[in-house]
A and B are shown apart, each in its own frame.
Chain A
Amino acid sequence: MTAPPVEEIDAVSGVDDPVVQVSHLTLRFGGVTSLSDVSLAVARGEILAVIGPNGAGKTSLFNCLTGVYVGEKGTISFLPRPGEQVPLAGRKPHRITQLGLARTFQNIRLFNALTAIENVKIGVESRQRTGPIGAMLRLPRTRREDRASDARASELLEFVGLRAQANRLAAALSYGEQRRLEIARALATQPALLLLDEPAAGTNPAEKADLERLIRRINTEMGLSVLLIEHDMRLVMSVAARVAVLNFGKLIAAGTPAEVQRNPAVIEAYLGAADPEEGESDAAPG
């Protein structure tokens, strides 16, 4: 690869009030460098999209943010509220979710033998306190929390448009519905930042349009910041305020969708390295 002759690209500059800030993150698996010196910040209330060819390190970045992988170098700080800064590196995934950073998965990972509403309830209940004793005895607090969790889960199903499917098994839902259910489950954990890993993968055009609307509503109505990994350029260009581009684990460009589209390094990365099936049609940006 001819590396673009750039000094230091980061997606940090211009972000005054970040909700999450990644600095100089490096992740290696044996000899393979999955992320190399990546710096990136998501502004509070913004939708930031991370794009890049397959294997560019997008999901690795998500896995570092959510504690599945621990980076070799670099820091990640999370600011659930302005001024309140928590380092994320080395924390367990469930702690990170409880701090307010929720995610969905590239290959949907629902609890398939549970109903849609039970899936969402599990998310709501990650914030509750009932322990085994309370649960066994069905103490008043347990009942109260159970009712609250039912109500909240129904609200969220309504929000993503799955109210009618509440009592169906997660596995019995259509693909697009499963994607939305996964988003509802993530929202149920009351995040400040939502990470969406290729939410549009495998959805049809109608579902994609729904999804686009849903992501906007999550951003505006719920006031959440969103970090989005997506291959579908139309979706990225329409919802994201800023776009960061990864290639071979390096950040090669960052900026508004229009800027990124014109960036020669981005065009080269996609046309030169992407697999023909997904990359070309997506990346040739008008």
Chain B
Amino acid sequence: MSEFANPPASGDGDSGFGPSVRRIVASLTDSDWRRLGGCMFAAVLVALMTGTSGNAQHLTAGVTGSLFRPRIVFFLLIGLALWAVMTAWTRYRDDIRDGLAPARKVQAEVTGNRWVQYGGFVAVLLLAILIPPQLSVFWQQVLVSQIGVFVLLTIGLNVVVGFAGLLDLGYIAFYAIGAYTAAYFTGYPDNKRGHISPLPVHPPFHVNPFFVFPLAVIACLIAGLLLGAPTLRLRGDYLAIVTLGFGEIVRIVINNSESVTNGPRGAFGIPHFSIDVWKLKYHWTLDLMPYWYLLVAIIAIVFVLFRQLENSRVGRAWTAIREDEVAAAATGIPTLKYKLMAFAIGASTSGLAGVIFASEVGFVAPDNFVLINSLLVLVYVIFGGMGSLPGAVAGASFLIWLPNKLRDLVAPQDRFIYFGALLVVMMIFRPQGVFPSRRRAREIGLAEAGSGGADAMAAPGGAL
């Protein structure tokens, strides 16, 4: 194969071409060669994945059409370039790190500065207000019914998973509870006078959708406490399984209780928000931007509130519980109470998201609350950086933008292959997420270093 001559071509191609090639090839270690094999294999795989599909007449068309074309060379070259970068990185990693150390210090100073953080927050807020009106209706729709709602969900789950360290795989259930609460209370006590309720059951009183927020928050709070009280004694994996079960139970109950929830047909005709208090009158309509501004306002408020929470007694207690539950309890922290608190706060945030979604789309069905949505929200949290509020916003926004963008670029059915590949690469090379929280980044750093304290324990022994 001709790759053997290639590596230096991507590295340096100056004078003394022949000798420098030989020198570089000679300096390659076994693991470099293995990595080269891996990169080439990945290149062929990606070429196959993105190539033409096979069909019934020519079973091998998928393979031949993908591989025996000039495009394979293109992919192999990309693989080679990737290999060169990775090899250079492993070889010069320490030098590069040392070289970047001053810059990193400056970066830490700047990003740690409170005024810079305020500035960043205001800048993002301004962008979120000014840019969307310029976008196409398609992207406005994505912003309102996907990004906005899911950012809110991600911020809420971030409290549960990122702050308190509780793995919740049934988070979307609270979103469902919020949405159905909105559907229920926006109905009318009776069907007289042409009133139509979204659900077959009638509430004791009619509530304007805008004022369903507190009711949904309370409903989700109660649901969170009911689920949390018996289960939060469990740890890690066990809690994950229980919450997974809870998520499915909620969805299936909604799906099967036809006489209460309309079953799989869902609740429809949920009215748009409207405010009509004294002189303040406003009606949300099919127009998307008002919904977007409402979402931005709610996200900004929740963001600020949770930021305060993170840097408070409560946030520190959560960190303590996450780090070492036994030590936290021995330091006087009521662990169960704090875990319940995290669970309830996360649940009520997703209740807010549920109400906005229900009112904006006007229609909710059990299909909105499938397991994959719980998992996606978790992915957004981890991708953005667990425990990091900016990370939650960035993670959810980017990972929802990506598949929508890919719709135009690749075969639609392949979109989630790229999505998945991105997650795999991300978790290998940057497990702490895009914008990791300071505390979480340290935890991951400590885990990789084998946690300093443990080594010191082993050392003395006979020194007594």
A110 at the interface (CB under 8 A from B): yes
Q: Please state if B459 and A202 are interface contacts (CB–CB under 8 Å).
A: yes
A278 to B460, CA, bound (A): 11
Q: Please state if B457 and A94 are interface contacts (CB–CB under 8 Å).
A: no
A6 at the interface (CB under 8 A from B): no
Q: Please state if B330 and A93 are interface contacts (CB–CB under 8 Å).
A: yes
B324 at the interface (CB under 8 A from A): yes
Partner of A122, one of B305, B320, B341, B446: B320
A120 nearest in chain B by CB position: B331
0 or 1 for each of A164-203: is its CB under 8 Å from B? (1 = yes): 0000010110110010000001101100000000000111
Q: Which residues of B contact A102 (CB under 8 A)?
A: 330-332
B316 nearest in chain A by CB position: A122
Q: Please state if B459 and A94 are interface contacts (CB–CB under 8 Å).
A: no
Q: Please state if A93 and B329 are interface contacts (CB–CB under 8 Å).
A: yes
Q: Which residues of A contact B456 (CB under 8 A)?
A: 174-175, 178, 202
A107 to B456, CA, bound (A): 10
Q: Please state if B330 and A132 are interface contacts (CB–CB under 8 Å).
A: no
- Given A110-B327, A202-B457: A135 and B439 within 8 A (CB)? no
B461 at the interface (CB under 8 A from A): yes
A118 to B317, CA, bound (A): 10
Q: Please state if A135 and B314 are interface contacts (CB–CB under 8 Å).
A: yes
B232 at the interface (CB under 8 A from A): no
Q: Please state if A118 and B333 are interface contacts (CB–CB under 8 Å).
A: no
Partner of B305, one of A137, A189, A201: A137
Instruction: Please report the total number of A residues contacting B with Cβ < 8 Å.
Output: 58
Q: Please state if B312 and A171 are interface contacts (CB–CB under 8 Å).
A: no
A138 to B315, CA, bound (A): 13
0 or 1 for each of B438-464: is its CB under 8 Å from A? (1 = yes): 011011001000011100110111111
A8 at the interface (CB under 8 A from B): no
Q: Please state if B323 and A112 are interface contacts (CB–CB under 8 Å).
A: yes
Q: Please state if B333 and A126 are interface contacts (CB–CB under 8 Å).
A: yes
Q: Please state if A94 and B313 are interface contacts (CB–CB under 8 Å).
A: no
- Given A202-B456, A202-B457: A113 and B319 within 8 A (CB)? yes
A200 nearest in chain B by CB position: B464
A110 to B331, CA, bound (A): 10
Q: Which residues of A contact B315 (CB under 8 A)?
A: 135
Partner of B330, one of A66, A174, A232, A282: A66
Q: Which residues of A contact B314 (CB under 8 A)?
A: 130-132, 135
Q: Which residues of B contact A137 (CB under 8 A)?
A: 305, 308
CB distance from A94 to the nearest CB of B (A): 5
Say which one of A19-27, A45-53, A142-150, A249-257 lies at the interface with B: A142-150
Q: Which residues of A contact B334 (CB under 8 A)?
A: 92, 94-95
- Given A122-B320, A171-B453, A278-B464: A111 and B308 within 8 A (CB)? no
Most chain A CB atoms below 10 A, which of B305, B317, B319, B453: B453
Q: Please state if A94 and B446 are interface contacts (CB–CB under 8 Å).
A: no
Q: Please state if B439 and A113 are interface contacts (CB–CB under 8 Å).
A: yes
- Given A109-B324, A172-B452: A146 and B313 within 8 A (CB)? yes
Q: Please state if B327 and A109 are interface contacts (CB–CB under 8 Å).
A: yes
Q: Please state if B324 and A189 are interface contacts (CB–CB under 8 Å).
A: no
B345 at the interface (CB under 8 A from A): yes
CB distance from B447 to the nearest CB of A (A): 10
Partner of B464, one of A107, A118, A149, A232: A232
A137 to B308, CA, bound (A): 7
Partner of B320, one of A111, A127, A138: A111
0 or 1 for each of A81-117: is its CB under 8 Å from B? (1 = yes): 0000000000011110110001101011111111000
- Given A102-B330, A132-B345: A111 and B323 within 8 A (CB)? yes
A142 to B311, CA, bound (A): 11
0 or 1 for each of B250-268: is its CB under 8 Å from A? (1 = yes): 0000000000000000000
Q: Please state if B332 and A98 are interface contacts (CB–CB under 8 Å).
A: yes
B335 at the interface (CB under 8 A from A): yes
B306 at the interface (CB under 8 A from A): yes
B309 at the interface (CB under 8 A from A): yes
A220 at the interface (CB under 8 A from B): no
CB distance from B413 to the nearest CB of A (A): 42
A111 to B330, CA, bound (A): 12
A186 to B329, CA, bound (A): 11
B449 nearest in chain A by CB position: A171
B326 at the interface (CB under 8 A from A): yes
Q: Which residues of A contact B328 (CB under 8 A)?
A: 111, 122
A277 at the interface (CB under 8 A from B): yes
Q: Which residues of B contact A281 (CB under 8 A)?
A: 464
Q: Please state if B335 and A94 are interface contacts (CB–CB under 8 Å).
A: yes
Q: Please state if B313 and A145 are interface contacts (CB–CB under 8 Å).
A: yes
CB distance from A82 to the nearest CB of B (A): 23
Most chain A CB atoms below 10 A, which of B320, B345, B463: B320
A135 to B311, CA, bound (A): 8
A131 to B308, CA, bound (A): 12
Q: Which residues of A contact B443 (CB under 8 A)?
A: 112-113
A15 to B10, CA, bound (A): 82
B341 nearest in chain A by CB position: A132
A128 at the interface (CB under 8 A from B): yes
Q: Which residues of A contact B323 (CB under 8 A)?
A: 111-114
Most chain A CB atoms below 10 A, which of B320, B442, B464: B464
Q: Which residues of B contact A127 (CB under 8 A)?
A: 332
Q: Which residues of A contact B463 (CB under 8 A)?
A: 202, 204
Known contacts A188-B331, A201-B460, A204-B460; 6 additional CB pairs below 8 A are: A92-B329, A109-B324, A113-B319, A123-B332, A171-B453, A277-B462
Which B residues fall within an 8 A CB radius of A? 305-306, 308-309, 312-317, 319-320, 323-324, 326-335, 341, 345, 439-440, 442-443, 446, 451-453, 456-457, 459-464
